[in-house]
Amino acid sequence: MDATIDKFLQYIRLELNLSPHTVTAYGTDLDQWEQYLTQGKRQLDVASVTPSDIRAWMLWLNNNGDGARTMRRKVQAVRSFYKWLMRQGVVTSSPAAAVEMARIPKRLPSMVRETSVDSLLDSDIDMDDFEQVRNRLIVMMLYETGMRRAELIGLRDANVDTGKMELKVHGKRDKDRIIPFGTELAQWIDSYRRLRDQQAVGCDRFFVRPTGEPLYPMLVYRVVKELLSQAGVSSKRSPHVLRHTFATAMLNNGASLNSVKELLGHESLATTQIYTHVTFSELKNNYKLAHPRALKKGG
């Protein structure tokens, strides 16, 4: 990989604190772009790259099977790279800035119906079984706080306060946020802690395995998928779906868009606005199912 690209990747990893997954994706995309431009036979000259070069690369990507969404991501990597080069004084303009890409419609996020989640959370389990209580609490925590899976795994025991009924999560870009919760969740937390402390010690994480070791992503995914399957959910079943369901439920029940933004830890209100489309879609669906004129043949 070109040394300049390598320095850029170090910058986004060390100074911007982007996730290892994001850094790897940027590295893969930029390496592919470099190989296309140089054909592996010459040194990359970032100052000589033109918008036509990038458009030709996009055509090559399309001919090799990349879709619009993938190409947009790869061009965005090049744009970020050139923004950094401009700040470093290496170039005075970005050839990628002149390349326009078609807007990709945002897909509506998947969600679970509130009745399905309520049915699951109200069902009986063995309250003396550590894993049953923990797994139920995982689903409750994701649904009632809207936290991300990584935030749940990294949640520290000291940051869960049932007295104040609030918890502190460590989110993206090293930002912390406080999330309130209700009495029922507080009671489940206390029950879980009693069982956990009887058999798992030596870990400062809130959620642990019976050995006392932290959870890992696939374990959380399997827990959520299994419990949602038991509740009869046949659509997508994942921790992130519960985050979507939390946001939609909050908006459906009168929460402001800005409040939901803060609870989810979104950087921009535009990211949260996708859920307004979900709630309107649900409203339209309810209308079609309930209004007598909509139910008429041909209506």
Choose, from 170, 193, 236, 266, the residue flagged as catalytic. Answer: 266
Active site residue 240: yes
Choose, from 26, 82, 192, 275, the residue flagged as catalytic. Answer: 275
Choose, from 148, 149, 237, 261, the residue flagged as catalytic. Answer: 148
Choose, from 193, 209, 225, 240, the residue flagged as catalytic. Answer: 240
DSSP letters spanning 189-246? HHHHHHHHHHH--S--BSSB-TTSPBP-HHHHHHHHHHHHHHTT--S--SHHHHHHHH
Question: From residue 245, how far is each of 100, 145, 168, 223, 264 by CA, in Å?
Answer: 34, 10, 20, 17, 12
Active site residue 73: no
How many CB atoms are closer than 10 A to CB 189?
A: 20
Choose, from 134, 237, 243, 244, the residue flagged as catalytic. Answer: 243
Active site residue 21: no
Active site residue 275: yes
Choose, from 172, 193, 209, 225, the residue flagged as catalytic. Answer: 172
Residues 6 or more apart whose CB falls under 8 angstroms from that of 169 comprise: 145, 147, 151, 152, 154, 155, 159, 176, 177, 179, 265
Active site residue 170: no
Active site residue 148: yes
The C-alpha atoms of residue 191 and residue 185 are separated, in whole angstroms, by 10
CA angle 272, 274, 275 (to 5 degrees): 80
DSSP letters spanning 105-117? PPPPPP---HHHH
Active site residues: 148, 172, 240, 243, 266, 275
